[in-house]
Amino acid sequence: PDAPSPAPAPTARSRAPLTTAPTTKAITLPTPVDITALQSVSTAEAAAWHRIVAASMAHDLPAVPTPDPAQIHAQLTQPPLGSRRLTWLATTADGVPLGVAALRLFTSPGQDHLSELELHVDPAHRRLGAGSLLLSAAVAACRTENRRSLIAAAAPGSPGEAFSQQRGFRPALTLDHLLLRLDEPSDPGLPRITGTAPSGYRPAHWTGTVPDALADAFASAKNAMNDMPVGDLDYGSITWNADRVRAMAKVIADRGDTLLTTAAVHDDGTMAGYTEILLPQGRGPRAQQYDTAVVPAHRGHGLGLWIKAAMVRRLRAGHPDVVEIETDNADDNVHMLAVNHQLGFRSYRRTREFQLELPTT
């Protein structure tokens, strides 16, 4: 499998980082901080959320494009697949936004023990306790919801890593983020990969919802993601069916993004493998890799490399505004890393996944 994505998300895939810790410009005077649980997110609150995320990412992850305001608004207002979201806003006593936290509570069987945290504090307002208060609110919600695992992500050596380790999170998985430039005159792998499908297989391409004739086969192939490397994360598993893959496509469309899928279908009608690319709303220059998987019975035929190369050709032909693809792989996912390097992907940053074990009743 390619990127470990539990369900459509920025990035989700991204999993968004914990970003709160001392900076050289931090305010050191004590300031009261209020934490508000948002029952629904207003347009003004979404705008404040975007400003905080943009400032946080510019400081801690300058190489990573910041989601635009429409993406943040959709993330906060559209229901995620197989989960629900709780959100909090930290402000000064006079209402100045300082930080935000979003807690995703997974609800599908096999993952209903799991929660995932995104937390940002504006670098200009760190060391005031906002991050700690936001984390306390999220942990209290996890306990109320009887969750045993809380996961979050931060870059190695970043403020978020120090913050998480100081508060009992343990490192559980390291992800290698890679980029493929599509606007370069040539890349080392793609010219050598034939556009002809391996013997016994044919390509299938679609945008958005899978065609009805392929829905069951696609759902079966999606279950191959359950053997993706997850390190020491208490990640659980997901069972896919035709209704779930249709629901996934609807979630993505409702938030304004576009999902492209390219698959390899065996002569017997089974789906042997597939790869997914997300085009964010606004059509920025960077596409996001979602899942890539090859069904175990069909491994060893070069299908993973072939379907990913077919997707690159599809993007170049149909989406010239996309100039790069970002993917991530567990650092022990040797096979998929090799496939990506053959295609010309190059590492550009790393993320560490952290997990906090919580007592359950």
One domain for residues 143 and 203: no
Percent pLDDT > 70 in the chain is 88
> How many CB atoms neighbour CB 208 within 10 A?
14
Residues 6+ apart with CB under 8 A from 192: none
Mean pLDDT of 299-321: 94
pLDDT at residue 11 tops 80: no
On the CB side of 159, CA atoms within 13 Å amount to 21
How many CB atoms are closer than 10 A to CB 210?
Answer: 24
Q: Residues near 334 by Cβ (< 8 Å), separated by ≥ 6? A: none
266: domain CATH number? 3.40.630.30
Read off the pLDDT of residues 135-181 as tens digits, 9 standing for 90 and up. 999 999 999 999 999 999 999 999 999 999 999 999 999 999 999 99
Does the pLDDT of residue 19 top 70, yes or no? no
Work out the average pLDDT over 189-194.
Answer: 59
DSSP string, 286-319: EEEEEEEEE-GGGTTSSHHHHHHHHHHHHHHHH-
- The band of 33, judged by pLDDT with boundaries at 50, 70 and 90, is very high
Q: Which residue has the tokens 């759902």?
A: 219
Instruction: Return d(Cα 35, Cα 92) in angstroms, integer.
Output: 9
Residues of the domain holding 299: 179-351
106: nearest Cα among 226, 220, 234, 10:
234
β-partners of residue 205 are: 262
**How confident is the model at residue 29, as a pLDDT?**
42
pLDDT given for residue 62 in this prediction: 92
Task: Evaluate if residue 188 carries a pLDDT over 80.
Answer: no
Are residues 203 and 319 part of one domain? yes
- Of 27-31, 166-170, 172-176, 190-194, minimum mean pLDDT range: 27-31
Residue 248 has pLDDT above 80, yes or no: yes
pLDDT for position 284 = 75
- Is residue 260 scored above 80 in pLDDT? yes
Average pLDDT, the chain: 89
Q: Are residues 184 and 328 in the same domain?
A: yes
3-state secondary structure 113-147: CEEEEEEEECHHHCCCCHHHHHHHHHHHHHHHCCC
- 273 Cβ contact list (under 8 Å, min separation 6): 221, 224, 263, 264, 292, 293, 294, 295, 298, 303, 304, 307
Q: Is residue 301 part of a domain?
A: yes
How big is the chain, counted in residues?
361
Helix or strand holding residue 32 (H, E): none
> Which residue type occupies 175?
L
Kindly tell me if the per-residue pLDDT of 343 is higher than 80.
yes
CB 330 within 8 A of CB 228: yes
Name the burial class of residue 283, with classes exposed (0-12), middle (13-18) and buried (19+) by CB atoms within 10 angstroms of its CB: exposed
Predicted confidence at residue 30, as pLDDT, reads 53
Give residue 320's pLDDT band: very low, low, confident or very high (50, 70, 90): very high
Give the containing element (helix H, strand E) for 163.
helix 159-166
Same domain, 183 and 107: no
- What is the mean predicted confidence (pLDDT) over 247-252? 96
Q: Both tokens of residue 348? A: 């550009």
Q: Clarify whether residues 200 and 336 are in a common domain.
A: yes
Question: Whose CA is closest to 275, among 224, 216, 347?
Answer: 224
Residues 6+ apart with CB under 8 A from 253: 208, 209, 259
Given a cut of 90, whether residue 244 has pLDDT beyond it is: yes
Total number of domains constituting the chain: 2
What integer pLDDT is reported at residue 186 of this predicted model?
A: 53
**Are 90 and 216 found together in one domain?**
no
Q: Is residue 86 part of a domain?
A: yes
Query: Tell me, what's the pLDDT at 187?
Result: 56
Q: Which of 152, 175, 198 is the last residue of a domain?
A: 175
pLDDT at 212 over 80: yes
Name the most confidently modeled range: 9-13, 58-62, 208-212: 208-212
pLDDT at 359: 87
β-pair partners for 202: 265
pLDDT top residue among 13 and 95: 95
> 215 in a domain, yes or no?
yes
* Same domain? 144 vs 191: no
How many whole angstroms separate alpha carbon 327 and alpha carbon 312?
Answer: 13
Structural contact between residues 222 and 240, judged by C-beta atoms closer than 8 angstroms: yes
- 233: amino acid identity, one letter: L
| pLDDT at residue 194 in the model | 63
- Write down the pLDDT at residue 192: 59
Q: Which helix (H) or strand (E) holds 160?
A: helix 159-166
Can you give the pLDDT at residue 196?
80
Residue 147 inside a domain? The answer is yes
Whether residues 50 and 157 share a domain: the answer is yes
**319/237 Cα distance (integer angstroms):** 33
Residues 91 and 239 in one domain: no
d(CA 192, CA 222) in angstroms, rounded, equals: 28
Q: Is the per-residue pLDDT at 24 higher than 50?
A: no
Do 162 and 211 fall within a single domain?
no
Say what the pLDDT of residue 281 is: 86
Q: Is residue 219 domain-shared with residue 145, that is, in the same domain? A: no
Question: What's the pLDDT at 360?
Answer: 80
